[in-house]
Amino acid sequence: MLPGKMPYDDLMRAFHWQVPSNYNIGVDICDRWARSDPTRIALIHKRPDGEVERFSYSDLKDQSNRLANLLRSHGIKRGDRVALLLPQCPQTCFGHIAIYKLGAIVVPLASLFGVDALEFRLNNSGARIVITNDQGAKKIAAIRGRLNSLEQVFNIDDAGPDELNLEREMSQFRPDFDPVETSPDDPALMVYTSGTTGPPKGALHGHRVLLGHLPGVQYHHDFFPQDGDLTWTPADWAWAGGLLNILLPSLHFGVPVLAYRFDKFSPETAFELMAEFKVRNVFIPPTALKMLRIIDEPAKRYDLDLRTIASGGEALGREVYDWAQSQLGITINEFYGQTECNIVLSSCQAIGISKAGAIGRAVPGHTVAIINENGEVLDPGEAGTIAIKRPDPVMFLQYWKDPEATVKRYIGDWLTTGDQGVMDAEGYISFIGRDDDVITSAGYRIGPGEIEDCLIGHEAVSLAAAVGKPDPLRTEIVKVFIVLKQGFEASDDMADSIQAHVRQRLSAHEYPREIEFVDHLPLTTTGKVIRRLLRDQV
């Protein structure tokens, strides 16, 4: 944990990792609080029917212990994989806790995954059990015969053929369980990469991954926790962002978490939720923040009590940064990380670490640099690969069943991210783009993020994505895909207006030479644009 609020340089010097020899996430985020403050509220669940459920730490302990006993009765032991194919709901929460206390490995799976995505991840992970709902069970049933390791499906809704009802099965077991003793390096969690640049890989993390996240979460939520804090994110808890940026750290700190299932993200519903429950701290990915911008004067329309907004997963950009300051009175704390090594760079406006267009500076406890292909640290102003130095508690253990890919991620002791960035003289890092996303045009290297940020500043543009299109003269030209706001129509005149907007605000070599208007952009379940699919179309 951070030693307290102090200037950045003092904070970096004062921070030291203190990782215990024995550590279990489930015990830390549940049993510890259930012993010391059992009635403390851990989870607030707004159900689809509008009813609100509240769960104390004692409730989570009872439920997770029953589930742990149930899973053990089905042969689940240390190191086995159990998949959670669930939205934000109580069962996802106590499911994580139970599996950690068993010493098994959680495989979170997003509810939006189709059957092909599920088949790959379940077979690759070798998951023996899946806990899901009716929606997920139907998908599993369609591929059940091709899932080589799957032994049992538990359904939190009405169980169908070849399924068991989770609540009924759990009720047969006692709420007492002795957690398995685990070390910080014992495997606990396997999150599959979002697959923006290739097939997804299982990033295996030890129990220490939660400890590694704590200083970053405290930092970008302005020295979290504080009295009255209550957290929420629209991000799926199956994604590292929703799980490790909000759910697990909040439970560690004893801060209530709001759970709500979005079938489709709605800006209006998001603001209504934040107002109804007096949410204080949110993690909202950039794409969702861009969608929130369609609401006029939200601070006047909704009785909000927001203290902090954190954002990551993609470059935020100046337009959204300025919007939050003017419309919500809050400076967004942007942070950076990956499934393999999360929240290593961040902003913290509470101590003046904030700069529009930059991710932030290294979070206390992490060493981050811009390096070249030889692993040499570059000077300020030189573009290169963002890299994190090991050892680091937040760093993944390995890629599941892929030692070659694991080795390739390192140059010496530097974990390479595959992201291009540049550091300024103050230590702020700006994101240029994924290695595969950087556009090379007439000798210039162009990051898509700056173009996209400029594009959404146009009055007609809702969402935008920029890619490089092969060109015999310039190597590549900039092509953009545009989703227009309601009330605007695609036309040649509209394309001309958008091109002029970029040319005037950026430069002649960065303006889009081709514009294609689309109804939607291909997104991962985490809300990132899958640019490789767009590149395939050009």
Cα–Cα dist 439/421, whole Å: 14
pLDDT tens profile 459-493: 999 999 999 898 877 778 999 999 999 999 999 99
Please name every residue paired with 522 in a beta bridge, in sequence order, or none if there are none. Answer: none
pLDDT band of 508, cuts 50, 70, 90: low
Q: Where are the domains of the chain?
A: 24-182, 436-537
Do 24-182 and 436-537 show the same overall fold? no
pLDDT band, very low/low/confident/very high, at 444 (cuts 50, 70, 90) = low
What gap in Å lies between CA 388 and CA 394, rounded to an integer? Answer: 10
Check if the beta carbon of residue 312 is closer than 8 Å to that of residue 337.
yes
* pLDDT given for residue 526 in this prediction: 62
Instruction: Write the CA distances from 127 to 1, 57, 65, 131, 426, integer angstroms.
Output: 33, 28, 20, 11, 46
CATH superfamily of 436-537: ANL, C-terminal domain (3.30.300.30)
Q: How far apart are CA 375 and CA 139, in angstroms?
A: 44
User: Looking at 2-16, 67-81, 112-126, 477-491, which range is the least confident one?
Assistant: 112-126
User: Helix H segments across 206-339?
Assistant: 208-220, 240-242, 248-253, 267-276, 286-292, 298-301, 318-327
The percent of residues above 70 in pLDDT, for the chain, comes to 96
CA–CA distance, 86 with 134 (Å, rounded to integer): 10
Please report the pLDDT score of residue 286 as a whole number.
85
**Taking a C-beta distance cutoff of 8 angstroms, is the pair 438, 432 a contact?**
yes
Both ends of the chain: CA-CA distance in Å? 47
pLDDT score for 507: 67
Phi and psi for 153 in degrees, rounded to 5? -120, 125
* Averaged pLDDT, 231-246: 94
pTM: 0.86
Helix (H) or strand (E) segment spanning residue 465: strand 461-471
Report the CATH architecture of 24-182. 3-Layer(aba) Sandwich (3.40)
Judged against a pLDDT cut of 60, whether residue 198 lies above it is answered with: no
